[in-house]
A and B are shown apart, each in its own frame.
Chain A
């Protein structure tokens, strides 16, 4: 049970979390886990990302899920969010592609052009 004040505090706090503001996380990876995404392998993609992050011991990376953006033909979809940089949305991701994104984009800071669906400031 929360009071209205507590609710407002949660609102402020989580607002910052989404933009990575105060947290120690450098990168947020978001996997689209709607029915279409899952139907085309989002669960496997999510698994691969979590594994890869663990193997590489990337402590400043947080992995979460979201629903569908609506571009069914590009599922599974993965967002990479970094503070101060455009949010990159990758599409048609497979576990292999996901590992490549971690290796190139997350670790080396090189955006994987071939998989990009859109880039948003």
Chain B
């Protein structure tokens, strides 16, 4: 590898530890030893909420921090909690969405493998805030290491009395259980996840009622992504005002971007919201591999957008990207060099959707197959220009009519690929 000597010479790969919030401990402490987590200040926030804060104050703090859901939809976490917190119910649940399935995303895996107690601490704080005595962490079945580390962490937290009955004499009880998936991307959708947790086929439910009101076993249920929850203890420890000093207006805090593809140093970085694509590629991704030219980045996973070099300096945060009809999604950044054929990549994206469509609703299960047949035809050089309009027309109809976000998703990559890289398609059509 050419790059290695380059790195060794400078002795400076930027791990960016100073900017890390959710991955502060990952790659530093022993994830299987609760005392190391406690040693770096772990469970301080838990102690603080139990001894000094009322549940609604916790909700308020998170609300003020402006923390947005990191699963892709960017829904304000505090607002989500505030719907469930005041409800009177015999049972409420926190569910952690650890079904990280968006292609190119592995941030939640790093948090769970590297710092499982951080997830547990955030979960407990959320549970205290909304008044839930039980939480579930739903992990995809493929993440075997996450499952075993989290199971160990839960046992340790119980042994230390951090979890369990009447925690530190506060009168608050809490139990955390792991639920395991079995291979279905759609279970990342919160209602499909709940279905799966209940032992069913993981197909989405009608909303309303939203899970916050009627979720798991018809009880009020807050579903949060792992990365979202991993921000919570830092917000409680340092306050909402501190949190708002990070990131950009409206999108505070850091974002874990996973960067891969044709870069020298694929991996992941945690940087402030609003870091540009260029910075992410050059500073954290080590630049383009083998000195090739940048052509495109698929941002946000399969449900994301193909961005061209015109977008290199745009701030990568939820709001700014929305202005450009793009999405940040899960924060996955797949970088493609000049040699990559976007038609091939779009084919791969659509194949993914066809494979993962759950089959519940007609436009998605049939639509993804129609889209696949079309792109496959184009890929094989048998397409015509009108097929490009057809791809957009069908995915637009799917966007308007599909049951859940999965069927709505193909529009983004299809539209952006055709609009930004039309040449690639025309070459195939000729």
Contacts and interface: CB of A to CB of B under 8 A. Distances in A.
- A–B direct contact (CB < 8 Å): yes
Given A1-B160, A18-B39, A34 B267 contact: no
Given A18-B39, A69-B26, A1 B113 contact: no
Contacts of B267: 70-74
Interface string B254-285: 00000010001111111000000000000000
A65 to B, nearest CB: 6
B15 A7 contact: no
13 contacts: A2-B162, A7-B47, A7-B160, A7-B162, A10-B39, A11-B38, A65-B31, A65-B32, A66-B114, A72-B268, A73-B286, A74-B267, A89-B15
B41 interface: yes
A10 to B, nearest CB: 5
Contacts of A2: 160-162
B101 to A, nearest CB: 15
A79 to B, nearest CB: 8
Nearest to B14: A118
B210 interface: no
Given A69-B26, A116-B7, A118-B7, 19 more contacts: A3-B161, A11-B44, A14-B39, A18-B29, A64-B33, A66-B30, A66-B31, A69-B27, A70-B269, A71-B13, A72-B260, A72-B266, A74-B13, A89-B13, A92-B1, A92-B4, A118-B15, A119-B11, A120-B17
Interface string B1-19: 1001001100111110100
Interface of B: 1, 4, 7-8, 11-15, 17, 23, 26-33, 35-36, 38-44, 47, 51, 109-110, 113-115, 143, 145, 159-162, 164, 168, 260, 264-270, 286
A1 B400 CA distance: 54
A7 B43 contact: yes
A117 interface: yes
Contacts of B12: 118-119
Interface in A72-117: 72-74, 77, 89, 91-92, 113-117
A1 B40 contact: no
A116 to B, nearest CB: 5
Contact of B159 (A1, A35, A92, A113): A1
Contacts of A10: 35, 38-39
Instruction: Give 6 closest A-B pairs by Cβ, nearest first.
Output: A67-B114, A14-B39, A69-B27, A70-B268, A1-B161, A72-B267
Contacts of A116: 7-8, 11
A70 B38 contact: no
B11 A4 contact: no
Of the candidates A10, A13, A18, A34, the one having the most CB atoms from chain B within 10 angstroms of its own CB is A34
Contact of A68 (B38, B44, B113, B264): B113
Nearest to B44: A11
Contacts of B161: 1-3
A15 B23 CA distance: 18
